[in-house]
Amino acid sequence: MRVNHSGEVAAQALYQGQALTADDPAISAAMRHAAAEENDHLAWCELRLKELGGRTSVLNPLWYAGSFAIGALAGALGSGTSLGFVAETERQVESHLRGHMNRLGGADRRSVAILEQMTHDEMAHGAKATSLGGKELPLPVQTAMRLTSRLMTIGSYWL
């Protein structure tokens, strides 16, 4: 759950950065709305971490700052790219969450319920971004995003 919590910290920052630099007020509003939903996810993960006796990652400030900068850059590149970034991010997050649920199996129904709701919301964010005109990102960008996500996952797991 610490990794998921860190992911939600990063998601908030991405959306806030994108909202700040969006060239369309409707896109900016959609980004702020998604960030608010990510705040719910953050609270759920933090509560579950406490219930499990865990702690949040000490790297969260780094994840927030880096993600805000990436989000601001994506927003500055225009609506199609920014929305495409959201859609790709949510595809990758959905895959991560499904993998986590599979690893948990039936062992932790409370965590699985949280992850199921998060997956549903993330899929909706991605679909919304696509419907608003998100462009598919080039394969090298998708790969860089996956590698960055993997680094964050490993770092948050241990620290």
Q: Where are the domains of the chain?
A: 2-158
- The mean predicted confidence, pLDDT, of the chain is 92
What single DSSP character describes residue 107? S
Confidence (pLDDT) at 106: 80
**Is it the case that residue 30 has pLDDT exceeding 90?**
no
Q: Are 115 and 100 in contact (CB under 8 A)?
A: yes
Q: What share of the chain is helix, strand, coil (3-state, %, to 5)?
A: 85, 0, 15
Closest CA to 59 of 100, 1, 5: 5
| CA atoms of 80 and 82, how far apart (whole Å) | 6
Angle between helices 25-51 and 2-21 (to 10 degrees): 160
Instruction: Quote the percentage of the chain above a pLDDT of 90.
Output: 82
Tens digits of residue pLDDT in 109-151: 999 999 999 999 999 989 989 998 999 999 999 999 999 999 9
**Is it the case that residue 16 has pLDDT exceeding 90?**
yes
pLDDT-derived band at 33, boundaries 50, 70, 90: confident
The architecture that CATH gives domain 2-158 is Up-down Bundle (1.20)
**Cα-to-chain-centroid distance, residue 136:** 17
Closest CA to 14 of 113, 62, 117, 86: 86
Confidence (pLDDT) at 34: 84
| CA atoms of 159 and 145, how far apart (whole Å) | 21
**Is it the case that residue 36 has pLDDT exceeding 90?**
no
Confidence (pLDDT) at 97: 94
pLDDT-derived band at 19, boundaries 50, 70, 90: very high
Residue type, 54: G
